[in-house]
Amino acid sequence: MTQSADDLLTRTAGQLIVSCQAYPGEPMRTPDTMARVAAAAVQGGAAAVRVQGLDDVRATVATVDVPVIGLWKDGDTGVFITPTLRHARAVGEAGATVVAVDATKRPRADGSTVRDLVRLLHDECGVLVMADCDDLTSAVEAAEAGADLLGTTLAGYTDARPATQGPDLDLLRTVARELPGHPVVAEGRVHTHEHARAALDAGAHAVCVGTAITHPTSLTRWFVEAMH
């Protein structure tokens, strides 16, 4: 789905985005399964979905009628969310409406910058960009580069900030205050209804929930641990 930034922002303002991801070796890690999970989330009211991997992006785009935020995780250390221009182009070509990229200031394997990624995705692929940030500095850089959505996705997953219990509300508040006009999605550790509400109150444009909706292994483990 090709979409203007204005359309995307109108559709997602104050809404829930659901991240549908299964990890290597997990039973639900098939594109068809993730597309069905995404469709179930849309039935429940998700305004957009976020999916990982080229096959999952293709399968989900063919299944749901809401914007698909696509990413390609390559590895699990350092910069691994859509880490290079090659990865970004491939996610765009797979049909994502928005491509999510690591927007931290850590060096990328191909030497590209967030500005290079945004330019490629906007000018060559004609898709929108979500910048997965880890602190205010990376959010400022991504906003200046022209990212359409900022996300707190990587806050607590790099050296920039400690991991909070629940979403990083301080970072959300700071980004919303310092970068008015640059919508920021609360993503990462939104585990309860209260977290989602607090994120909106802190200035989030939208809230993205993954694990607490779409990852049954973690949900089961949370119950099991609470019982022991």
Ligand X SMILES: CC(=O)N[C@H](C=O)[C@@H](O)[C@H](O)[C@H](O)COP(=O)(O)O
- Work out whether 190 is an interface residue with ligand X (CB under 6 A): yes
- Work out whether 188 is an interface residue with ligand X (CB under 6 A): yes
- Work out whether 21 is an interface residue with ligand X (CB under 6 A): yes
Give 4 or 137: the residue with its C-beta nearer to ligand X.
137
- Work out whether 83 is an interface residue with ligand X (CB under 6 A): no
Q: Length of the chain, please?
A: 228
Give 18 or 64: the residue with its C-beta nearer to ligand X.
18
From CA 102, how far away is CA 145, in angstroms rounded? 13
Asked if 43 and 73 touch (Cβ cutoff 8 Å), the reply is: no
Question: What tokens does 79 get?
Answer: 């910069």
One character per residue 122-161, x = contact with ligand X (rule: CB under 6 A) = -------------------------------xx--x----
- Work out whether 3 is an interface residue with ligand X (CB under 6 A): no
Asked if 166 and 211 touch (Cβ cutoff 8 Å), the reply is: no
Stretch that binds ligand X, among 36-44, 122-130, 198-206, 209-217 (CB under 6 A): 209-217
Stretch that binds ligand X, among 24-32, 109-117, 122-130, 204-212 (CB under 6 A): 204-212
Binding site for ligand X (CB under 6 A): 19, 21, 71, 81, 153-154, 157, 187-190, 208-212
